[in-house]
Structure 1
Amino acid sequence: MSKTITSNQLLGEIGETAVRLRFLNMGFQFDGRSRLEAGIDGIAEVMDKGKPLARMIAVQVKATESSRYSSEDDSGFTYLLRQADLSYWQGSNLPIIIVLYRKSDETIYWKTVTLDLNPDDRKLHFDKANDVLDANAVDRLAALTVPKTGFGYYVPPLGGGEDALVNIFPLTLPTEMFVSSTHYTPKGAAATLLAADEPARFDWVIKGGKFWSFSDPRENVCHQIVDIDQVEGIDTSYLAFHEDHDEQNTFAYLLKSAFGHQVRADLGWSKVGKLFYFRAKAENTTRTFAYEASKKKTSTEVVNVSISKGDAARVEFVRHHAFQPRFERLFDQWYLVISPTYFFTTNGFIPHSYPGALLAGKKRLDNSASIRGQVIMWHRFLTQPERDAKSLFAKASSAPCLKFGEPPTVALSTRVPEDVWGSPRRGATEPDSKQERLFG
């Protein structure tokens, strides 16, 4: 009896060949597996202008002759994964995609297979406009090869370059600061100031019997915690650029204290989260900050009230724009390093008991544009007093303050694709923000 090759075997070979050719035309390598494969037909390797990057993607090819896919219409369709394939892929150390080839119209679509799928929810939803395997998918495929764990990650996308914004603001310091001896500890000094008749202020640092501040303690409530006859004004640079690391750390703490005092009317401090956040002006009330971004005037809700969507509408939580600060010295320049984040309360004032899940959900929706927009927004907020001071009707102020320069930009040879900014939940929508999408 003569041997025969079935039509299904031929169709499978045609499908793999078509997919391999498509990957090659996209600039990727594609190596087929042996006939012993159990659920992965080939390995695609990302290349940049002919240079292999040793970043691999496991590919499963499914070919059909001409039949329509499930729920197919002009915009998309669904595809049900086999439970056996999912079980096999669970142990994979490579990202996995499924590629669907239809011979009748030579269409090739692809989709990432996430290994945390519920066994009862094995449907993949394909978008005919966005899920075509062609040159437009190159950056998204390259992003799959980067592990999304650890302190940070970067994948070299294969498109053009862009300017990256660095989340640091150079500081202009007051030229003079005041030092004095004191017999108070920081805790004792705070208790004394809180008990005084004058408003307490904490724009100072005490360490080892020494008091430092940018404000003259003889002219404010701090006269109660220093040795008045020992107060001396000195050049700020003497301590700001001291070579001793302990002195540098003390100066960094002074910068944080002075900064907190400077923004106290608008920003609160969370000791638990170690972050500054926009204060609410009233209970369960939104707050908007209008500013001029790099291209146009815009605004954003820096305090956002989330209302439940049920019949009995109620406030679920209040989200505040926030950032974690760090003051760093690089050579002969001090910087404020900001890490944008969010702070959650129940009504604008009471900290939320379980903010972790809310923060994780919001972070999943953030992309490079929104992060960049937040950095710009914080810069505009911190430099608002300087712009107001130039106003014709501005009131003169002699109080020393920290001033903030423009965040620097770095020219990147390649563009950062949006796909590498976390893994949004399936079905998640973009955040409702008016911040300018500067990476668009």
Structure 2
Amino acid sequence: MGSRGAKKFTDSQHKGHAGIGLIHMLVSEMGHEWHDRVVDVGIDGSIELRDPSTGLMSNQHVMVQSKASDQRFSGETDDGFWYLCDEEDIEYWMKSKDAPVILICSHPAERKAWWAHVQPWFEVPANRASRRIEFNKATQAIEGDFTGKLFALVDPHGVAHTPAAEKKREKLYSNLLPVDPPDVLYVAKTKVSGMRAIFEAQRESERPFRQDMVLKHGRIYMWDPPGGTALEPVISEAAKELPFGELEDGDADERRLAVWLLKAALEHDLRADCRWNNDRKFLYLRPTPDLAIRRLMSLTGRERIAFNGYYQRKDDPSRPQFYRHAALRAHFSRLEDDWFCEVQPDYFFSDDGFKEFKFADKALAKMKRMEKNGARLGETLMWMRLLIGETNPDLFYEEPERILLFGPPVTFDLDRGITDNLWRNPGQDAEHAAEAAEEEFDDLDDEISLLDELETAEL
């Protein structure tokens, strides 16, 4: 009797309010403003976007319709679900020409929500006829800060929402290493013609083989005196000293010669570790003596796979298909009075550790598609450590004395920066970001998928 005429708050209403409350909380956490609508005729409210760098309100709005449920949505799995919309709601949403409309489906009790931009979805005739919106949980989850996506809805051409750099101290790391070459090199006339003849003459000698030289106009330019080396028999006069500064400060031809000499010095310094591939124009790591896997440390102390073999079948490691070698493209440039080496990692694929794999181009293309920025960074840091000279203690050779000395990576101190949340993947916290910065690209399943593709191409 006491309940006669009493107001009821149904479960449906409660879930609806919980869904709106969840949206309000998520929007506030991103730094934007939620506006409720008193009358719900297909729109529950709007998100007014706020410029994260200045704090100013943009007067740009995203209209929101909320659908909340503690039960699973239609067809819901761990990957996605679909929602059947009312025809009247669709008609109302599509009339909004000035503001985007998004549908947010949520499980308030689990604090999970997903969104879909309804206008472009229902512009497709098949979608309009079915009245269904398909949700992908991985790509449409409301997690972290997706401010950039919201601004892209209200301003798809990026005219009004280009992120402004905040005043904050940041350090920018480059892929440049400072290089300190010797002050003096040596020049002598040669008895033979062509680099091939010089190398052949050296191979016939029992003296130390030299690669740190360039042949130009019948003269050999080299970093060390030829005495006591395999170069001594191929020169016709005593070597003369030449200040390296005369080349680096000379005309275009002389500056080009200086760059060639730096590349020759690098090839000579890494000769025990790397081979030069003239077709690819890069250095690549030599195979291990027993063709076993080899790992190298990067500057951060993390190990990366530098050489490894991959097989026709996972269960039969006796049948190698190809080997992957870490490779390096090094570019030398002079900026003002200093020399720098630009470190660009690459890959070489071989049949037996030496001969190039017949599907190398396809393997390289696949590798480039698969690797992420973290893997690229890890490869760069690995080569930097090798160039600087901080190699692994268990190397199978004694590292020779080097011509070139490399300093630590060039960094730049900045007083402006972009907030991490504006570019980092939603939900990726600082710890995960640090781990991803050097993500190891050695997952055998991924590598085997590369092999499968190459075998298909062969057939």
The corresponding residue for 1:361 is 366
CA contact (8 A) 2:284 2:347 kept: yes
The corresponding residue for 1:210 is 219
Residues 205-260 of structure 1, C-alpha deviations (whole Å, 9 max, x = no match): 1122332110112332222333314x201332232x22312111111011111211
Q: Does 1:221 align with 2:226?
A: no
Q: Does 1:268 align with 2:279?
A: no
The corresponding residue for 2:175 is 167
TM-score by length of 2: 0.61
User: Could you say what secondary structure the match of 2:227 adopts?
Assistant: helix
Q: Does 1:201 align with 2:210?
A: yes
Q: 1:270 to 1:400 in 2, by over 3 A?
A: closer
Distance 1:354 1:155 in 2: 43
User: Could you say what secondary structure the match of 2:145 adopts?
Assistant: helix
Q: 1:227 to 1:61 in 2, by over 3 A?
A: farther
CA contact (8 A) 1:180 1:226 kept: yes
Distance 1:79 1:264 in 2: 57
Per the TM alignment, residue 404 of structure 1 is displaced from its structure 2 partner at its CA by: 0.8
Q: Does 1:380 align with 2:385?
A: yes
CA contact (8 A) 2:294 2:308 kept: yes
Distance 2:65 2:322 in 1: 46
CA contact (8 A) 1:180 1:210 kept: yes
User: Could you say what secondary structure the match of 1:280 adopts?
Assistant: coil
1:175 corresponds to which letter in structure 2? D
CA contact (8 A) 1:170 1:405 kept: yes
Per the TM alignment, residue 339 of structure 1 is displaced from its structure 2 partner at its CA by: 0.7
Percent of counterpart pairs with the same letter? Answer: 24
Consecutive unaligned residues in structure 1, runs of 5 or more: 1-14, 31-41, 83-95, 146-153, 389-394, 421-428, 434-440
CA contact (8 A) 1:203 1:257 kept: yes
User: Could you say what secondary structure the match of 1:376 adopts?
Assistant: helix
RMSD: 5.2
The corresponding residue for 1:126 is 137
The corresponding residue for 1:6 is none
1:336 corresponds to which letter in structure 2? C
User: Could you say what secondary structure the match of 2:146 adopts?
Assistant: helix
CA contact (8 A) 1:383 1:404 kept: yes
CA contact (8 A) 1:278 1:322 kept: yes
User: Could you say what secondary structure the match of 1:322 adopts?
Assistant: strand
Residues 189-215 of structure 1, C-alpha deviations (whole Å, 9 max, x = no match): 435525633364332111223321101
The corresponding residue for 1:302 is 306
CA contact (8 A) 2:74 2:83 kept: no
Per the TM alignment, residue 22 of structure 1 is displaced from its structure 2 partner at its CA by: 6.8
Per the TM alignment, residue 123 of structure 1 is displaced from its structure 2 partner at its CA by: 7.1
The corresponding residue for 2:406 is 404
Q: Does 1:329 align with 2:334?
A: yes
Q: 1:292 to 1:27 in 2, by over 3 A?
A: closer
Residues 355-402 of structure 1, C-alpha deviations (whole Å, 9 max, x = no match): 3343343334444443333333222222337999xxxxxx997x6611
2:418 corresponds to which letter in structure 1? T
Distance 1:216 1:317 in 2: 41
1:225 corresponds to which letter in structure 2? V
The corresponding residue for 1:246 is 253
1:136 corresponds to which letter in structure 2? D
Residues 293-331 of structure 1, C-alpha deviations (whole Å, 9 max, x = no match): 44xx44222112234565555434322222211111111
Q: Does 1:315 align with 2:320?
A: yes
Distance 1:45 1:224 in 2: 76
2:281 corresponds to which letter in structure 1? K
CA contact (8 A) 1:169 1:337 kept: yes
Q: 1:131 to 1:222 in 2, by over 3 A?
A: same
1:407 corresponds to which letter in structure 2? P
Q: How many residues are aligned here?
A: 362
Q: 1:345 aligns with which of 350, 353, 375?
A: 350
Q: 1:183 to 1:315 in 2, by over 3 A?
A: closer
CA contact (8 A) 1:70 1:77 kept: no
Q: 1:100 to 1:361 in 2, by over 3 A?
A: farther
Distance 2:299 2:107 in 1: 50
User: Could you say what secondary structure the match of 2:287 adopts?
Assistant: coil
The corresponding residue for 2:447 is none
The corresponding residue for 2:244 is 236
Q: 1:318 to 1:288 in 2, by over 3 A?
A: same
User: Could you say what secondary structure the match of 2:250 adopts?
Assistant: coil
2:137 corresponds to which letter in structure 1? F
Distance 1:375 1:309 in 2: 31
Q: 2:146 aligns with which of 127, 137, 154?
A: 137
Bigger Rg, structure 1 or 2? 2
1:273 corresponds to which letter in structure 2? R
Per the TM alignment, residue 131 of structure 1 is displaced from its structure 2 partner at its CA by: 5.2
1:431 corresponds to which letter in structure 2? F
User: Could you say what secondary structure the match of 2:412 adopts?
Assistant: strand
Q: 1:123 to 1:407 in 2, by over 3 A?
A: same
1:263 corresponds to which letter in structure 2? L
1:338 corresponds to which letter in structure 2? V
Q: 1:215 to 1:79 in 2, by over 3 A?
A: same
1:267 corresponds to which letter in structure 2? C
CA contact (8 A) 1:282 1:348 kept: no
User: Could you say what secondary structure the match of 1:379 adopts?
Assistant: helix
CA contact (8 A) 2:226 2:232 kept: yes
Per the TM alignment, residue 25 of structure 1 is displaced from its structure 2 partner at its CA by: 7.3
Q: 1:286 aligns with which of 280, 284, 293?
A: 293
CA contact (8 A) 1:284 1:315 kept: no
The corresponding residue for 1:108 is 113
CA contact (8 A) 1:70 1:78 kept: no
TM-score by length of 1: 0.63
2:327 corresponds to which letter in structure 1? A
Distance 1:140 1:307 in 2: 43
